């Protein structure tokens, strides 16, 4: 039985300047090594297809009925510098599925070159595919809005990277959409008011149906991004490459490149090998989100009538972001301390705890998981905290016991490169149950010789 996916495509009905239609470049010998059956079921993907048929579809070798493969165009600020045209350089949107929870995209990553590849080979190797699979599924289990991993295949081909030839792989990603801040920027840069208006209307209908007009869209984006970044901060997550083309209008975490969860807590942690100035350090993520939103606001100016009035209104509107973020930060960090209704009066208590973590270099995840046991030297702090009557059940739901630690991911990737995917399966089972007790192998911080000090995109 072939793979049946109930496609219901809408992005493909937009004008063709939004994308380039094309199929995937076939691969030699696709083999499925991961398939997210519960996610597939939620998408209405019919049971019964064997691994061979799944591998053919999720490698791009076979195009399922109803698919309308295309590469999306977008622009973006990358490390602060504007690139007027980027786009899907190694990915194809297969199509969309309307589910009970809302419409989603199904996209292949690593499916071959497109007109937007910019000298790249359009391929992915097994390392970044495994990293995104583990990271995105862990984030979903943590309750963080995120793209999801539906399937992963090896291609039977090698791709050339800095460290030499690596086994090729393709990830199938599911997202609420792939509309980015950069999608708006590409049409603003082209002074294409018609495309901007169409994109605004489409995005409002898809993601913010209760909102109206560009200002409503901006407000919606600020709200979902304030909540998302506060969630990242509350679990010690560093995205690593918060370019405007990596900020989704859906409010999902997207594009897991040089991302990481912190081990020891240091607010200025930077791990990405390409972030030489520390632009996207852990502590910089909230102001960078605000900066990205300002760029989004700029892209809306052409469809807002009088330019001077539009700039004035948008400038005033984005001033609301810090307060939105502060409220979200208190909500998510408050929950970690069992404070269901954290207020600004609780901020000094939270900050004192975080300062102690940083001074002592304590493990972010494990220190929170150990609460209500507090680190040595915090006895006075503990009395103040206990006086607030913390909710232990809320803490248990808010403080994971295991995260996908970098050194464990690197070990899984090394095994996969050697052809052994059993460690991947084992780690996936653990990180998708983050609030359960895990063995020391997965919950322990890295030993000094295991520490990963640099992360890479893998492109």
Mean pLDDT of 133-157: 99
Mean pLDDT of 144-161: 98
Share of the chain above pLDDT 70, in %: 99
Q: Please give the positions annotated as active site.
A: 245
Q: Which of 308-312, 426-430, 447-451 has the lowest mean pLDDT?
A: 447-451
Contacts for 317 with CB less than 8 Å, ≥ 6 apart: 215, 218, 219, 222, 297
Q: Is the pLDDT of residue 454 over 80?
A: no
Strands 148-161 and 260-261: unpaired
The interaxial angle of helices 347-360 and 321-336, nearest 10 deg, is: 70
pLDDT, position 448: 87
Partnered with residue 459 across adjacent β-strands are none
Q: How far apart are CA 185 and CA 82, in angstroms?
A: 9
Q: How far apart are CA 203 and CA 74, in angstroms?
A: 14
Q: How far apart are CA 173 and CA 132, in angstroms?
A: 9
Whether the Cβ atoms of residue 116 and residue 284 lie closer than 8 Å to each other: no
Q: How far apart are CA 172 and CA 226, in angstroms?
A: 27
Contacts for 219 with CB less than 8 Å, ≥ 6 apart: 211, 317, 320
Contacts for 367 with CB less than 8 Å, ≥ 6 apart: 265, 357, 375
DSSP per-residue letters across 271-287:
-BTT-TT-TT-GGGHHH
Question: Given pLDDT bands bounded at 50, 70 and 90, which one contains residue 459?
Answer: low
Mean pLDDT of 424-446: 92
Question: Given pLDDT bands bounded at 50, 70 and 90, which one contains residue 394?
Answer: very high
Question: Given pLDDT bands bounded at 50, 70 and 90, which one contains residue 142?
Answer: very high
Exposed/middle/buried for 195, CB within 10 Å: 0-12, 13-18, 19+?
buried
Q: Is the pLDDT of residue 1 over 80?
A: no
Per-residue pLDDT tens for 232-290?
A: 999 999 999 999 999 999 999 999 989 999 999 999 999 888 888 889 999 999 999 99
């Amino acid at each position: 039985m072939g793979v049946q996916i109930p496609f219901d495509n809408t992005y493909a009905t937009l004008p063709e300047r939004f994308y380039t239609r094309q199929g995937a470049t076939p691969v030699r010998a696709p083999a499925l090594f991961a398939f997210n059956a519960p996610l597939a079921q939620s998408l209405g993907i019919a049971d019964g297809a064997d691994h061979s048929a799944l591998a053919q579809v999720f490698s791009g070798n076979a195009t399922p009925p109803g698919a309308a493969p295309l590469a999306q165009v977008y622009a973006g600020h990358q490390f602060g510098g504007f690139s007027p045209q980027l786009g899907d350089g190694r990915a194809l949107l297969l199509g969309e599925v309307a589910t009970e929870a809302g419409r989603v995209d199904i996209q292949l990553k690593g499916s071959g070159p497109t007109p937007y590849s910019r000298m790249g080979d359009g391929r992915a190797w097994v390392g970044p595919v495994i990293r995104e699979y583990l990271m995105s599924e862990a984030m979903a289990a943590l309750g963080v809005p995120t793209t999801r991993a539906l399937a992963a295949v090896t291609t039977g081909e090698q791709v050339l990277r800095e460290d030499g030839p690596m086994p090729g792989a393709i990830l199938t990603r599911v997202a609420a959409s792939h509309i980015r801040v950069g999608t708006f920027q590409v049409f603003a840069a082209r002074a294409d008011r018609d495309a901007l208006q169409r994109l605004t209307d489409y995005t409002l209908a898809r993601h913010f149906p209760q909102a109206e007009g560009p200002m409503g869209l901006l407000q919606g984006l600020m709200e979902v991004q304030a909540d998302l970044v506060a969630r990242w901060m509350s679990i010690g997550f560093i995205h690593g490459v918060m370019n405007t083309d990596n900020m989704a209008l859906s409010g999902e975490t997207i594009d897991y490149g040089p991302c990481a969860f912190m081990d020891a807590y240091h607010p200025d942690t930077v791990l990405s090998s390409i972030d030489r100035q520390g632009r996207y350090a852990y502590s910089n993520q909230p102001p960078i989100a605000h900066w990205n939103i300002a760029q989004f606001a700029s892209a809306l100016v052409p469809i807002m009538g009088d330019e001077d009035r539009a700039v004035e209104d948008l400038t005033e509107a984005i001033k609301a972001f810090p307060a939105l973020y502060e409220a979200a930060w208190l909500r998510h960090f408050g929950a970690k301390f069992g404070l269901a209704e954290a207020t600004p009066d609780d901020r000094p208590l939270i900050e004192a705890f975080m300062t102690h973590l940083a001074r002592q270099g304590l493990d972010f995840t494990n220190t929170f998981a150990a609460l209500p046991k507090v680190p040595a030297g915090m006895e006075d702090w503990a009395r103040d905290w206990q006086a607030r009557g913390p909710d232990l059940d809320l803490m248990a739901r808010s403080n994971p016991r295991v995260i996908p630690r970098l050194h464990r991911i690197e070990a899984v990737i090394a095994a996969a490169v050697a052809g052994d995917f059993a460690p991947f399966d084992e780690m996936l089972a653990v990180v998708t149950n983050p609030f359960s007790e895990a063995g020391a192998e997965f919950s322990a911080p890295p030993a000094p010789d295991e520490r990963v000090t640099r992360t890479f995109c893998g492109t």
